[in-house]
Amino acid sequence: MDIEELLEKRVSRSVQIKLVLISSIYWSIVAAGVMVLSLTLPKIAQTYGLQSTTASLIASSTFFGMLTGALLSGNIADIIGRKPLIGILVSIISIFSALSGLKINFSTLLLVRFITGFGLGGLLPVVNAYLTEFSPKVVRGRLLVILEGSWAIGSIIIGIVAITLGKTNYSVTYFVFLLGLLTLVFLKFIPESIKFLLKKGRIDEAKKNLILLGIDYDGVIEIKKESVLRVPILNLFREKYLAITLMVFYVWFVISFSYYAFFTWLPRVISSLIGTEITKSINYTFTMLVMQLPGYLLGAYIIETIGRKKSLFISLLGTSIMAFFFATSRTPNHILINGSLLTIFCMSAWGIIYAYTPELYPTEFRATANGSAGALARVAGILAPIFISSQFKNLTFAISTLGVILVIGGILVLVIGRETKGKSIG
């Protein structure tokens, strides 16, 4: 039996839910690890006595670590497997996030944030590839957007911690990441990617892992294999994938650049636009973080309703339009309304591109594709905080520029993108 058919017919709904929930827990940890900077960076800058541009190095070092992690983890996962790497990366995130809360010298803090970023950036493409390889084609897009939607859950949880337990001492907000080590126990209850094992020729191991899916199958399992080049990343630029890869890379870059430009310095941006205090603007920031959840729900609905290309175009266009409105906001109500709508469309775009990308590439280099796209997103994450912090006196122009590059991304999706709704993946 073909592996696609076996997984489609024999994996129960309860097992699918278990895989989504466990994957979403790890995704939420990454979200919390990234968004904690938006909520604590102003306080860290005050504690260390830093100017905004210097303080941006904390965010940029984190994103540089995410870049390195995303680049390397995809290749590593395509060699050693998804499951063992997930455990390693979760451990890194938990331990080094907690260390970020200590009052250490600035240089050491930058190193700690780099290592934390390595774990954060590395975990995303591995978990994404893992869940993709178990998801039925009829609901694959929706499940992957739900996975990305757990980003909102992680953001909200760390936001609550920041404005309650960490209100007077930001260090507490980082110490709670040690709880992430407890989630490693979940790895005992999920299998390694069956497709990965089969394509590596580990047939007996694949059949043993099927038992964790509730499948007792001893027959022949068939899987289509794709020829691959010796250097994994070069597969993305073969003639068959070149145009798609360039489109994917651009869209990932602009979504990430826009997202981190909006959110890394969001309390300061809001303060600059409407002249409110940083402390009060953090409350606005938390409200916008909460609005990420309906954004992912929007993406989860439209991706299986109108397809990947149209849903991604609409989300990018909506983000662009709301960026223009947000840039011209001058009252608290306008900030909340325009910022919330901006967040909804932006998160919808994020969810859809995370679901769309792994569908465009085969198992042999799916994690490499995810990791490479994620690495480019981290380059954007490095540049975006510096860009915004240098434009506090000219925010309307800066945010309007983001709107333009988002529209270009939407057009590229319509022209170059390939529709994958309801189709099998290799």
Task: Map out the domains of the chain with their CATH numbers.
Answer: 3-416 (1.20.1250.20)
Count the Cβ atoms, other than its own, within 10 Å of residue 14.
9
Model confidence band, residue 423 (pLDDT cutoffs 50, 70, 90): confident
- Residue 277 pLDDT: 59
Q: Does 305 have pLDDT greater than 60?
A: yes
Condensed to tens digits (0 to 9), the pLDDT of residues 22-77 reads 999 999 999 999 888 878 887 888 888 887 778 878 888 888 898 899 889 988 98
Calculate ∠ Cα 298-300-301, nearest 5°: 65
Q: Which two tokens stand for residue 132?
A: 């993709």
Condensed to tens digits (0 to 9), the pLDDT of residues 2-28 reads 777 787 778 888 888 999 999 999 999
C-alpha 292/C-alpha 187 separation (Å) is 27
Tell which wins on pLDDT, 183 or 381: 183
Model confidence band, residue 265 (pLDDT cutoffs 50, 70, 90): low
User: Which among 118, 113, 142 is positioned nearest to 301, based on CA atoms?
Assistant: 142
179 φ/ψ angles, rounded to the nearest 5 degrees? -65, -20
C-alpha 41/C-alpha 59 separation (Å) is 8
- Residue 74 pLDDT: 84
Residue 342's H or E segment, with its range, is helix 332-359
What is the distance between the terminal CA atoms of the chain, rounded to a whole angstrom? Answer: 15
- Residue 94 pLDDT: 96
Residues with Cβ within 8 Å of 319's Cβ and at least 6 positions away in sequence, in order, are 255, 258, 342, 345, 346, 349, 403, 406
Q: Note the pTM of the prediction, 2 decimals.
A: 0.79
